[in-house]
Copies of this chain bind each other. A is one copy, B any other.
């Protein structure tokens, strides 16, 4: 006759686990000896080992009881379910692992490689680190909203970097964000002019679909808000854009107000 400790050791589990199985009725409570100790026979050891085998395989304890009582075909059916579940779980972890290894590269937290390359390009053209970080956070919001569409829009974004206007814009942004210039800095006007010009280009070339963007206002609002939260002077930039007939600098759609 085994004590609970011996039984547990034999099956390679803790005594707490055994008592837990008793509590949930998975393993029947054995007889007690004179002093109230549980005393186990060999069948208990066999049962416990079977239980652990299924539990190690990921079967929830609540199902193990039925599985051990089931006939062959029901059992096989249960096994099938378990196996599917295990496959799904493994797949989930595999994709997690892929994402995690991408995280090792600095910016890629929550960002696909295309976008991190874009950020690296920004650094190459002299964009300041804080500006890149602001840009990165913006992309995080964009990717969260259009995880699929991101791939198709990136080539155009890269191409855009050949435009000296855009390069100048990032330069202005870098200077401003690093400086303590006030709301009245003339570079804000210059930035607004460039933004308006770029918006005009994009709009007339049909690159922007106002209807499409109208249906998805939230992210644009968030992007504007993010800019202002990152640097309050962005508010002034938004105002300047509105004066020029654009509802915001990220939501490049002419407003009715412009009428």
Residues of chain A touching chain B, judged by Cβ–Cβ distance below 8 Å, are 1-2, 6, 10-12, 41-43, 45-46, 49-50, 53-54, 56-58, 72, 75-76, 79-80, 82-83, 86-87, 89-90, 93-94, 96-97, 99-101, 103-104, 106, 109-110, 137, 140-141, 144-145, 218-219, 222-223, 225-226, 229-230
Contacts and interface: CB of A to CB of B under 8 A. Distances in A.
Contacts of A226: 41-43, 45-46
A58 B96 contact: yes
Given A42-B223, A96-B86, A49 B106 contact: no
A1 B224 CA distance: 11
A94 B103 contact: no
Contacts of A45: 141, 144, 222, 226
What copy number does this chain have within its complex? Answer: 2
A97 B93 contact: no
A140 B225 CA distance: 65
Contacts of A58: 93, 96, 100
12 contacts: A1-B225, A10-B218, A12-B144, A42-B222, A46-B226, A53-B99, A53-B109, A53-B110, A56-B99, A58-B96, A86-B93, A93-B93
